[in-house]
Amino acid sequence: MSHDSSNSPRSKRLQLISDYGCTRSSKCRKPCSRSAETVSTRREAEPVRADVKGTQHLSGPGRAGLTGGPAAGRAAARAGAMAKLLSCVLGPRLYKIYRERDSERAPSSVPGTPTSVTNPHSSSWDTYYQPRALEKHADSILALASVFWSISYYSSPFAFFYLYRKGYLSLSKVVPFSHYAGTLLLLLAGVACLRGIGRWTNPQYRQFITILEATHRNHSAENKRQLANYNFDFRSWPVDFHWEEPSSRKESRGGPSRRGVALLRPEPLHRGTADTFLNRVKKLPCQITSYLVAHTLGRRMLYPGSVYLLQKALMPVLLQGQARLVEECHGRRAKLLACDGNEIDTMFVDRRGTAEPQGQKLVICCEGNAGFYEVGCVSTPLEAGYSVLGWNHPGFAGSTGVPFPQNEANAMDVVVQFAIHRLGFQPEDIILYAWSIGGFTATWAAMSYPDISAVILDASFDDLVPLALKVMPDSWRGLVTRTVRQHLNLNNAEQLCRYQGPVLLIRRTRDEIITTTVPEDIMSNRGNDLLLKFLQHRYPRVMAEEGLRVVRQWLEASSQLEEASIYSRWEVEEDWCLSVLRSYQAEHGPEFPWSVGEDMSADGRRQLALFLAQKHLNNFEATHCTPLPAQNFQMPWHL
């Protein structure tokens, strides 16, 4: 007799357990929520199990493609995280996140950009970059190491001499020292990696590095707008303008080459001597000495702002000044690539959209030998309402290179090209404003771009040689003169005489820098010589013996009262002077030099000389480094 096991109570109970996950008996008729969930779950899972079973017969690439998706995604995520960590290790130092203006807030074009990062405007944490503790301490260690390296670099000649005298430069003692140096380098590399980890854990820095990488890949306007909200190490800033970018430069053969723009070359010290091979050999030791002096001590004395230690000390002030230009004046920073490969740091403030008419004019500012556009003379034309373009000398702050005359002229050339071809200003709407040593680049630009509207030189000089001889021993006179003429030839007066447009000179009456004796001796101010050479070139007949003598008397005046006394003593009639000059211009044209005054009496030449001197020079009762007030920033006189 057969027995059907499927109908037994035990079989039915097992069937209920397998179907519903419930251990109740078959007689139970109460609803069970657990049973319903189990059924639903099992029914939803059945197709998945079927799909998985269906893949069991697959082999090779087909099966790997179906079963390896999640693993490949995890591997890609790990690779992306490691790439981001490497970017944080090698990335630039981030100084500040600027407050973004309401009119410029827009959705981010960079994937994964949080709103709190792209629109920093509320809290101080969103406005000022806050490094984590690991990044902050690692940055301090690396900055200290950089300062020590700079000090050791400048003192290396003395250190080598001392070590040589003590006998420490032998092989037996150099090898252990190299081991110590290698260990120190490894430790510093480890500190840099720790700094990268600290940056990687900071969402602000991760977002910054994402925007920076996106801008390097795609130079779109939106990416550049987002990158402009950050202040970071300028070496990582993408290039905004190239010296060959204007089409006229590519087609012209007479433009600047990679060796640099054209400069006025000094005349030989000894005229008439034959330049034979023997004479060259005799001059070689002097030329080597001049080269070494110019590239070591001379350049740093002439441009102290290029010294790293000074820039390090001024860094907080520079960051604060740059924040003011960006946040309050709506300034736009840009990197320009000059023909010699130097990268020039610039800041442009556009006032063309304002109601002030002077905003249509662009003032290009040329700073002094320790001046930076962040805290320099750009404030004067800004307060006067002009559009302003400031730039830093090569080797200053974000600009690369060293500030020799050739590099200075190359930088000025790309700045003017940037103003014309990228910013959209015509040369007739550009004004050159220079303070102190910046007169060299301003006069070079005026000479090279004759359509420039005007030139304003504040506390500048005619030539560098008298000022260099002032601070060096008399026994070095020959070496100093040769070094300046061959390597540091700042011939401002010679370049200014090649310019045909309006010029205004501002003389500081208590200037302690460009005087060759003491600040109280106003006649030793080299601004006087700049004015006299300029007037003698343009009006040689007027500035003959009588005219030159009376202008010197006027320059000796130490107050406005004395100036007015001399001016009235010679009974200068301004209307008569203007009529004489306008008549000559109408008859002979505006090209200088003029022969006006050739058939004039001595009194007439004196009047005309005083009138021209008073129109081309303004006195400012201040020392060399006093900022020029906006009310003293006036356009030059012209007929």
Angle, CA of 344, 346 and 350, to the nearest 5° = 155
**H or E stretch covering 348:** strand 343-349
Active site residue 436: yes
**633/383 Cα distance (integer angstroms):** 10
- Name the catalytic one among 219, 588, 603, 638: 588
Amino acid identity for residue 628 in this structure: L
Number of H helices, E strands in the chain: 26, 11
> Using CA atoms, how far apart are residues 367 and 628, in angstroms rounded to an integer?
13
On the CB side of 95, CA atoms within 13 Å amount to 14
The token pair at 542 is 């007027």
Cβ within 8 Å of residue 434, ≥6 positions away: 365, 366, 440, 441, 442, 443, 455, 456, 457, 458, 460
- What strand order describes the sheet that includes 332-337? 241-242, 332-337, 343-349, 387-391, 362-366, 430-435, 454-458, 503-508, 617-620
Separation of alpha carbons 512 and 246, rounded Å: 42
Long-range contacts of 348-355 (CB under 8 A, 24+ apart): 348/387, 348/388, 348/389, 348/390, 348/423, 349/325, 349/378, 349/382, 349/387, 349/388, 349/389, 350/387, 350/423, 351/385, 351/386, 351/387, 351/388, 352/387, 354/385
Tokens 């029914």 found at: 43
Annotated catalytic residue, options 87, 290, 399, 436: 436
SS3 231: strand
Q: Is 511 considered catalytic here?
A: yes
Spatial CB neighbours of 457, under 8 Å, sequence gap ≥ 6: 434, 439, 442, 443, 492, 496, 503, 504, 505, 506, 530
Among residues 466, 509, 473, 512, the alpha carbon closest in space to that of 490 is found at 466
What is d(CA 467, CA 470) in angstroms, rounded to the nearest whole number?
5
Of the residues 413, 458, 511, 529, only one is catalytic, namely 511
Helix (H, G, I), strand (E, B) or coil at 211: helix
End-to-end CA distance of the chain: 136
The amino acid sitting at 263 is L
Q: What is the largest CA-CA distance in the chain?
A: 156
| The residue to which tokens 């910046």 are assigned | 438
Report phi then psi at 349, rounded to 5. Answer: -115, 115
- The helix (H) or strand (E) run that includes residue 366 is strand 362-366
Residues noted as catalytic: 436, 511, 588
